[in-house]
Amino acid sequence: MDFLAIALVVFSAVLHAGWNILGKSHSGSGVAFTMAASLSACGVLTPYLIWYLTTLGWTSLPVEFWGMLAFSGIAQIVYLVGLIMAYKHADVGVIYPIARALPVMMVGGFSVALGHALSSQQWLGFVLITFGCILVPLTHVRQVSLVAYLNVGVFWALIAAIGTTGYSVVDKEALTLLTQQASTIFNDQYSAIFYLGAQFWAMGLPVLLWCLITGNDQELQAAWRIRKSASMAGIMMASTYGLVLFAMTMTDNVSLVVALRQISIVFGLLMGIWLLAEKWYLTRGIGVAFILAGIVLSLEGA
């Protein structure tokens, strides 16, 4: 990976951990938070979307692209709702590492299936990252057992991880298709911003329509109550993933981007301790060390 791509992903990790702290503070309203955060980002990016499509041509993009975009939006909803629901049952320091790092192995497998080669050193790095995630939620090393993870919070974290895997793989393929279609008019960074805005519409619109069709006034009212903090989180989400999409245009292998994003686990732990008074344990320190070592191995093996 280029140094610029690495810098973009690391900076995005700081923002990502930050909006997760905001999400934790409103953990009782997963659907409402998802709707309010995504629609706020839509409001900011919609003028750009209109300009981009007007310049490119409203019918220029193939149906395949829109299908992948729709799938990505659903996967993002699964991720966000799973994450906020998980925060109802456990600390950020427990849920955040599981939800963010388990997709490393999943995306790695999908990347190989799509024809991207991964070295043995990279796989070792992925394993270390995953093992670090196993340690981070524990208070003592002797707690390492399957029983320690059989709880509702971890279940929802796994749901969030599945969502992350889905949108990470699909976004790279959709972004590649988009940049190929628009390369004669826009550079890749312009197309990445367009995809970011379109993705937020693919997230926010289905949730809004679901609430309207089902008459779920409680979620609509909850979204309005948390509009300020959720809007702040939405802007941070847009900034975070916009930087990641930029990085994706600079590398062919999305699994490396996903692996590097796990530096956000370190930031998430520190923010949880500082802002939410969560506890620091030796196992969390060891887990962080494994995660950092895994990231270094993954990037050096590229």
- Domain that residue 221 falls in: 3-300
Number of domains in the chain: 1
* Dmax (CA) of the chain: 60
Region class of 140: left (phi > 0), else alpha (psi between -120 and 50), else beta: beta
The per-residue pLDDT for 102 is 77
pLDDT at 96: 67
pLDDT of residue 63: 95
10-residue block means of pLDDT along the chain (302 residues)?
87 82 62 86 94 94 96 91 83 72 84 82 91 79 70 88 91 93 92 94 92 90 86 86 90 84 82 81 88 90 63
3-state secondary structure the chain: CCHHHHHHHHHHHHHHHHHHHHHHHCCCCHHHHHHHHHHHHHHHHHHHHHHHHHHHCCCCCCHHHHHHHHHHHHHHHHHHHHHHHHHCCCCHHHHHHHHHHHHHHHHHHHHHHCCCCCCHHHHHHHHHHHHHHHHCCCCCHHHCCHHHHCCHHHHHHHHHHHHHHHHHHHHHHHHHHHHHHHCCCCCHHHHHHHHHHHHHHHHHHHHHHHHHHHCCHHHHHHHHHCHHHHHHHHHHHHHHHHHHHHHHCCCCCHHHHHHHHHHHHHHHHHHHHHHHCCCCCHHHHHHHHHHHHHHHHHHHCC
What local confidence, expressed as pLDDT, does residue 206 receive? 92
Query: How buried is 254 (Cβ within 10 angstroms: 0-12 exposed, 13-18 middle, 19+ buried)?
Result: buried
Q: For the stretch 87-114, what's the b/e string if a residue is b when 16 or more beta carbons lie within 10 angstroms of its beta carbon?
A: bebbbbbbbbbbbbbbbbbbbbebbeee
pLDDT of residue 148: 66
How many CB atoms lie under 10 A from the CB of residue 120? 8
pTM, to two decimals? 0.82
